[in-house]
Structure 1
Amino acid sequence: MSEKKDVSEKTVDLDEVLDNYGIFKRYHGEMIILAFLAFATNNIYCSNYVFAAEDVSYRCKDDLEDASYCGASNATYYCSEWAYDNPNSFVAYFELACQEWKRTLVGTMHSFGYMCGLLLVGPMSDRLGRKTAIVVTGIFGAVLGTLRSFSTWYWFYIAMEFMEAAIGDICSPMYVLTLEMVSSKKKLVFFMVCSFGFTFGGVASAFIAWLTPDWRWYLRAIYTPAFLFFFYKYLLDESPRWLLTKGRKDEAINILEKAAKKNKISIDKHSLQNLTCEVRENVRFSELLNDTFKSKTLRKRFFVCVIWWITCTFVNYGLMINSVSLQGNKYVNFALSMLVDLPASVATTYILIHFKRKVPLMLSFFVGAAMCLSQPFLPTNLPWLSVTVYMAGKLMSSFYFAITYLYTLELFPTYTRNSMHALCSSVGRIGSIVAPQTPLLMVYWPGLPSFVFGLAALIAGLSTFLVPDISDDSLPDTVHQAEALGKPKMPSKATGAYNEGFDTQM
C-alpha cells in the first residue's frame, strides 16, 4: 500500500505531460494557424511605414526644366509650390518637401512606441495571462491603426503611430504562449512552423502596398482584418504553464484534457493531478521582478540579452529599410528580403536542434559582421556581388534574431519570463529607433552604415561568451532553476531536489 501511495503522490513536471501531444494533430494544428496569423500581422505592422510613408520625389513647380533642391536650412521658402511624383502619397498630403526628418520620424516613432509598449504588454501578460494580453493588444491594434488612416493632421498621425505600436501588437504574448504550449523537445519545430507567419506577413505587406498605392487605403487594408482578433477570446486557450504558476491547477488540467480529446490521445489522470509548479499567486509582481534582478547571474544575462536585442533590431531593420533603395522593383526587393527569413527559419531550427544555442548564435553574429564589414570594400563594377553579400548579411541577421528571440525566453523563470523578454526587447528597440536614421551617415562615407552594422554584430557575438549554453533544458519556473541552466544534471525532482530549484531535464 505504501508503494502505491508513493507512486500516486510522485510529482510530475508539465513537460512530461506535454511530451505526449503531437504538435501536428488537431489541437496544436489549430494553434499553429492562430499563431501564424498573429505573427504575420506583427511583421506587417512593424514595417508599415516603409510603404505608408515611402520616399517620394518632388520638384518645384516654378522650375519645370530642372529639379529644385532643398537649401541647407531645410526651409521651404525656396519654392512657392511643390509638385510631387505621387500626389496621393503620404509625403504629398502632409507637404513634407524639404522635411525628410518628418518622413523618417514615422518609422522611428513606431519603434519607440513598440519599445515603450513592451514594458506594459510584458507585465500584462505575466499578470493577467497570455490569452488576455493577446486579445487586448489585437483589438487595440485594429482600432488605432484604422483610426490613423483617417488622419488629417501630421502630428495626430505620429501620435497614433506611437500608440498603435505601444499597445497594438500581439507578438510578444503570442510568442510566449506558443512556446509554453509544447514540451521543450518539440518547441523548436513547433515555433518554426508558426514563425512562417513572419515571412508571409512581410511578403503580404509588399503585395498589399502594390495593390493599394494610396497610403490611406493601404493602412485600412492591413489593419481592418485585425478586428477579427476579438474571436481569439474563444479560439485560444490560456497557457497551462502560466495557470500552474498562478495556482489555477484545475483550469490547467481542463485545457490539457481538452487538447488530449481533440488529438484523440489518452493522458494518465494521475499524472495530471500530480502536476507541480512553484506557486507565486499571492506575491506582488514587483517582488517577483525583484527576485529575478537580485540574482547576479540573471542580471548578467539581462545585460547580454539587451546587447543582442539592440544589435538584432538595429541591423535587421536597417537592412530591411534600405532594401527598397536597391536597383529594381521596390516591392519585389522588399518581398525578397522577407523571403530570406524562410530558409533562415528552417536552417535555424535544424541547427538549434543539433548544435544547442551558444555556438550557432556566435557564428551567425560573426559571419553577419564579416558580410557587413566587407560590403563597403566590394568592387563597384560588380553589382551582383554587392546584392549577394547584402542578402547574405540579411540572412545572418535573420539567423541571430531568431536565436535571440528564443534564447532570451529560455534564460528566465516562468513567472517573469514574458516581462524579462519584453524588457530586453523593449530596451533593444533602441536599435530599431536609430536604424531609420542610418542613411544620414552616408554623407560622411557611403559604406559607413554597413560598417557600423558589422561592428555592432561583432560586439554582440563577443558578449555571447558570458551566457550558458542550453538546448534540451526544460523551461525554468524559478530563479534557482534559471540559475542552474547549463550546469551538470542534478538529482531528480522525485528525490526532493525540485524544491531546491533544480530540474531533471537540465
Structure 2
Amino acid sequence: MKRHYFVQQMNNPQQQQPRGALDGGVYAITPVDQSSKGFDATDGPPDYGIVNIYQKSSRDLKGLGGGKSIYLDSGDDKSDSDSNVTAGGDGDSDIISEYIGHYGLWQFCWTFLLCLFQIPTTFHIFCLVFQAASRDFWCARPAHLRSVPVDLWRNLTQPTGAQCSQLNVPYEQLTADGFAGYFASMNVSEPLEQVSCGAYEFDGTIFGQTVIAEFGLVCDRAKMMSIVEMCFLAGAAMGSVGSGWISDQFGRRHTLMFFALIQAITGFLLGFATSLELYMALRVIIGFASMSVAVVSFVLVVELVSGRYRTVVGILNILPVAISYVLAAGIAYFTRDWRLMQFIITIPGAMLLSIWYWLPESPRWLLAKGRIDELKLIIDRAAKTNGFRLPEGYEKTLSSPDQDSAEEVVSIFDLFRMKFLRTTLVMLVVWFGIVLIYFGITLHLSNLGGDIYLNTVLAGSVESIAICLSIVVVLKLGLRVNLFLYMVVAGISCIVMNFVPDGNLWVIITLAMIGKFYGLF
C-alpha cells in the first residue's frame, strides 16, 4: 500500500549523500495525518529511523507521463482513510492521483461541465436529420394560379405521378376559374409532352422551411444533398485527426475552447447562409470544430481522473449525446424552420464559452510538458476541494524528466509497424463497422418511416440505456467476446431489416433500434 508520509531530516543536510539518493541520512517519518505537528519523541518512535529516499529511474517514469516520484519501501500495508492512499493494486495510479485522488468533488464538477460540450456538438451533427428532412413536393403553381387547390393541380398537371415534370400546356393563358375546364376539354387520346418543372412547392404539413426546400435540392439537384452531408463528415474526419496533434502542442484547455468558439461563430453564420455553396463551406468548418470539441473534451475528461473512474467517466461523457437527440427533436418540432433551429442549437455552445477563464488545464499534460508552476496551482486547488492535505515541498516530486530521459518521439506511422499492424487493422475494421451502423441509422432516421420525432426520441432512449449498460459490460464482463457478439447482433439486425416488407413499419424500426443498441457497444 502506498502512503504519504511527512519526512523530517534529523541530521546535517550538508553531508555527502549516497549516490542515487535525493537526500540520505537520518529522518523522522510520520504518516501525513500526523505531519501537522511534526515529530515528537513523546508520540513514540517514528516509523523509520535511518532511511534513504531514492528517486525512481527515468526509465521507470515513462509510464507516469514524465513525472518523478518519491517512494518509501515500507512493509506497512494498512489503509488510512484520512491520508492520501492509493491502492497498490491499481495499475492506473500516478503521482498526480496520489495528491488529488482518483475522483473527488473537484473532478466531478469539471467532468460534469465538460460533458456538456457534447450537447452542442451533437446538435450540429444531428440537425441535418430535421433541417434536410425529405418532404413531398410538386411543380410550383404560377402566381396567378395559386388559388387552384394543390390536389387538383397535381392530378391535372402531373397525371403520371411524376414529381419532376408536368404537362406542357400554356399555363400563362389559363385562369384559376377556367383551369379545370381547360383540362376537361383537352383531347386525351393523344399523349401530351412532359416538361421539367421550373420551380417546386413543398409540403409543409410535417416540416416547415428546410435546406432542401430553400435550395431546391430535388430531382436533378437531389445528388447535392449527399454532398452536403459529406461536407460535415469530411470536416469531422479532419478534426478527429488534427485536434489530437493541436491539443498536444497547445494544451487541452485552449484547444477545446478555441474550437468551441469557432463552433459557435460558424453555427450562427450558418443561420444566415444565402447560398448552397456558402452553406456547404460552413458545414465543413463546423464539422472540423465540432469533432475537435468532442475529441478534446473527452481527452480532458479522462485526464482529470484516474483509476477505474477513467472507464466510468469516459463512458458517461457521451451520455449527453443520447439526451441531445431527444432535445433536438423537441427543438425541431416547435421551430419547424431550419434557420431558427440553427440559431437555437448554437446557443448552448456559446454559453459554455463562459467557463474558459476558470477551466483547468489537464494536469497530466502540464506534467508531461514540465510546466510545474501551473501544475502546482491546479493540484493545490484540486486537493483543497477534495479534502486532501499536501505535504510540504511536494512539488519537488513533480519535476519533469531531463533531456536524456525524455520519451521517444512517436508518430502515427508507428501504428503500422509489424508488431502493431494486426491490432491496428482489426481496430480499423471494427470502428468502420461501428461508425457505419451508428451514423447510418442515426443520420437517416427520417427514412425509416413513421413519425420522425417519435423515432428520434426512441433512438435517444435506446442509446441512453446502451451507454449505461456498457459500463457494467466493460467493468464486469470484459470486452473481447462481448464486442464480437454485439457486433454480430447489430449486423444481423441491419441485414434482416432490408428484407422486411415496407408495410411492417414497427418491425423495421425495432430492428433498427436493436442494431443501434448493440452497435453502440
The alignment's TM-score, normalised by the length of structure 1, stands at: 0.70
Q: Does 1:221 align with 2:300?
A: no
Q: Given residue 114 of structure 1, which amino acid in structure 2 is its aligned partner? A: A
Distance change (3 Å), C-alpha of 1:231 and 1:282: farther
Q: Given residue 79 of structure 1, which amino acid in structure 2 is its aligned partner? A: C
Deviations 1:75-97 (A, max 9, x none): x9512332111362222221223
**C-alpha displacement at 1:388, in angstroms?**
2.3
Q: Does 1:341 align with 2:420?
A: no
**C-alpha displacement at 1:389, in angstroms?**
2.2
User: Which residue pairs with 1:117 in the alignment?
Assistant: 239
Q: Which runs of 5+ in 1 are unaligned?
A: 400-506
Deviations 1:443-487 (A, max 9, x none): xxxxxxxxxxxxxxxxxxxxxxxxxxxxxxxxxxxxxxxxxxxxx
Is contact 1:15-1:184 (8 Å) kept? no
CA distance in 2, matches of 1:362, 1:273: 47
Distance change (3 Å), C-alpha of 1:3 and 1:182: farther
Out of 15-24 and 115-124, give the one that drifted further: 15-24
User: Which residue pairs with 2:139 in the alignment?
Assistant: 60
Q: Which has the larger Rg?
A: 2
**C-alpha displacement at 1:269, in angstroms?**
5.2
CA distance in 2, matches of 1:356, 1:269: 41
**Residue of structure 2 aligned with 1:32, choices 96, 107, 111:** 111
Q: Does 1:69 align with 2:187?
A: no
Is contact 1:59-1:82 (8 Å) kept? yes
Give the number of the structure with larger relative contact order, counting CA–CA contacts within 8 Å between residues 6 or more apart: 1
User: Which residue pairs with 2:454 in the alignment?
Assistant: 332
Deviations 1:246-296 (A, max 9, x none): 1223322321221111122224456654247767899999x5326844753
Distance change (3 Å), C-alpha of 1:6 and 1:303: farther
Out of 13-22 and 358-367, give the one that drifted further: 13-22
Structure that is richer in strand per residue: 2
User: Which residue pairs with 2:211 in the alignment?
Assistant: 90
CA distance in 2, matches of 1:312, 1:271: 45
Deviations 1:415-466 (A, max 9, x none): xxxxxxxxxxxxxxxxxxxxxxxxxxxxxxxxxxxxxxxxxxxxxxxxxxxx
Q: State how 1:260-409 maps to structure 2 within 5 Å.
A: 260-268=383-391, 273-275=396-398, 287-289=409-411, 292-293=414-415, 295-378=417-500, 383-399=505-521
User: Which residue pairs with 1:107 in the alignment?
Assistant: 229
**Residue of structure 1 aligned with 2:198, choices 80, 83, 87:** 80
**C-alpha displacement at 1:45, in angstroms?**
1.3
Is contact 2:100-2:379 (8 Å) kept? no
Q: State how 1:439-458 maps to structure 2 within 5 Å.
A: none
User: Which residue pairs with 1:150 in the alignment?
Assistant: 272
Distance change (3 Å), C-alpha of 1:92 and 1:376: closer
Is contact 1:36-1:195 (8 Å) kept? yes
**Residue of structure 2 aligned with 1:50, choices 122, 125, 129:** 129
Is contact 2:117-2:294 (8 Å) kept? yes
Q: Does 1:171 align with 2:171?
A: no
**Residue of structure 2 aligned with 1:235, choices 344, 353, 358:** 358
CA distance in 2, matches of 1:47, 1:172: 17
SS at match of 2:443: helix
Is contact 2:103-2:305 (8 Å) kept? no
SS at match of 1:137: helix
Is contact 2:490-2:519 (8 Å) kept? yes
**Residue of structure 1 aligned with 2:314, choices 191, 195, 208:** 191
SS at match of 1:59: strand
User: Which residue pairs with 1:139 in the alignment?
Assistant: 261
Q: Given residue 392 of structure 1, which amino acid in structure 2 is its aligned partner? A: I
Q: Which runs of 5+ in 2 are unaligned?
A: 1-23, 28-50, 57-67, 70-91, 142-152, 166-193
Distance change (3 Å), C-alpha of 1:243 and 1:220: same
Distance change (3 Å), C-alpha of 1:218 and 1:381: closer
Distance change (3 Å), C-alpha of 1:346 and 1:269: farther
Deviations 1:323-375 (A, max 9, x none): 22334321121121122111111111111112333233222212212222333
Tell me the matched-pair count: 394
CA distance in 2, matches of 1:198, 1:57: 30
Q: Percent identity?
A: 23
Distance change (3 Å), C-alpha of 1:217 and 1:389: same
Is contact 1:14-1:275 (8 Å) kept? no
Is contact 1:179-1:187 (8 Å) kept? yes
**C-alpha displacement at 1:48, in angstroms?**
1.7
Distance change (3 Å), C-alpha of 1:214 and 1:383: closer
CA distance in 2, matches of 1:123, 1:288: 12
CA distance in 1, matches of 2:402, 2:460: 42
**Residue of structure 1 aligned with 2:120, choices 19, 41, 57:** 41
Q: Given residue 93 of structure 1, which amino acid in structure 2 is its aligned partner? A: E
**Residue of structure 2 aligned with 1:246, choices 366, 369, 372:** 369
Q: Given residue 360 of structure 2, which amino acid in structure 1 is its aligned partner? A: D
SS at match of 1:288: coil
**C-alpha displacement at 1:21, in angstroms?**
5.0
User: Which residue pairs with 1:203 in the alignment?
Assistant: 326
CA distance in 1, matches of 2:300, 2:331: 29
**C-alpha displacement at 1:233, in angstroms?**
2.0
Is contact 2:131-2:211 (8 Å) kept? yes
Distance change (3 Å), C-alpha of 1:226 and 1:333: same
Out of 12-21 and 230-239, give the one that drifted further: 12-21
SS at match of 1:83: strand
SS at match of 2:94: helix
Is contact 1:130-1:239 (8 Å) kept? yes
Distance change (3 Å), C-alpha of 1:80 and 1:292: closer
CA distance in 2, matches of 1:172, 1:159: 22
Is contact 1:59-1:69 (8 Å) kept? yes
Q: Given residue 68 of structure 1, which amino acid in structure 2 is its aligned partner? A: A
**C-alpha displacement at 1:238, in angstroms?**
0.9
**Aligned-residue CA RMSD in angstroms?**
3.1
